Amino acid sequence: MIRAHGARERPGRSSHIRLLPCRVSLGNKGLGLRVLNLAADVQVKAISEYAPEDAALLCGVGRLVCAWTMLEQSLEKKIAMMRQAMGDVRTVGTRNRPSMAKLMTELRTMVTMRDRRNATALNEISAIERDMQRVDRFRSLIVGGFQEPAPGGFTCRDPRNQQVHVSLEQLDAETTALEQMAQRLLDV
C-alpha cells in the first residue's frame, strides 16, 4: 500500500512504501516525492536451512547457468582470437552482448574464411549448434518455467503451460553435455 506521509493509515493495513514531500532542485519549481522502501518484513532463508535435496537442486541449476555463461564467454574469446589471427582488430559485440546465435553465425563465418575447402569444421559446428539449441531450450525451460522441487528433481512449466518433471540426473546430463560442447567448440 502506498500512502502520502502524514496521511492516516487504515486499521489492519501496513504501509511498505511511504511517500515523503521534498524539494526538487529544479530551480525554484515544485515539490517532488521521495520514496522510502520499508522492507523490514522480508525474511531470507539461510543456506544451511535448505534440505539436502534442495541444496543439490540449487547446485545443479547454478552449474547449468554457469556452464552456459562460460560457453558464451569462451566462444567470444575464441572469435576474438580468430579475428586477431586474421588481422581484424574489432572486438565482438563492443556495445551489446551478442546472443549465442550471433556468436555461432560469426564463428561459422570465420571458419568458412579460414578453411575454404574443408567442410568438416563446418559440419562439426552445425552438429554443435543443434546440440546447443537443445540445451538452450532445456535451460530456458528451467530458468523461465521453474515451479517447485519434487521428489527426485523438480517441476517446470513449458511454453505451452504443461507441467514437466525434470530429474536431477537429467539436469546433470545436460550440464555435462554443455561442458563437452564448450570443449568441442574450442577445438574447432
Domain borders along the chain are 2-37, 53-187
Strands 17-23 and 31-37: antiparallel
Asked whether residue 109 carries a pLDDT value surpassing 70, the answer given is yes
Higher-confidence residue: 35 or 69?
69
Question: Tens digit of pLDDT for each residue in 11-66?
Answer: 554 444 444 444 444 444 444 444 444 445 556 667 667 677 678 888 899 999 99
CA dist 35 and 29 (Å) reads: 19
Q: Distances in Å between the alpha carbon of 180 and those of 30, 70, 173?
A: 61, 12, 11
Higher-confidence residue: 79 or 88?
79
pLDDT of 176: 94
Mean pLDDT in residue range 66-92: 83
Q: Distances in Å between the alpha carbon of 58 and those of 36, 54, 68, 81?
A: 33, 6, 16, 34
Question: 58, 50 in Cβ contact below 8 A?
Answer: yes
% residues pLDDT > 70 (the chain): 70
CA dist 75 and 100 (Å) reads: 9
Q: Which of 39-43, 152-156, 183-187 has the lowest mean pLDDT?
A: 39-43
- pLDDT mean across residues, the chain: 77
Asked whether residue 7 carries a pLDDT value surpassing 50, the answer given is no
Question: Tens digit of pLDDT for each residue in 123-139?
Answer: 888 899 999 999 999 99
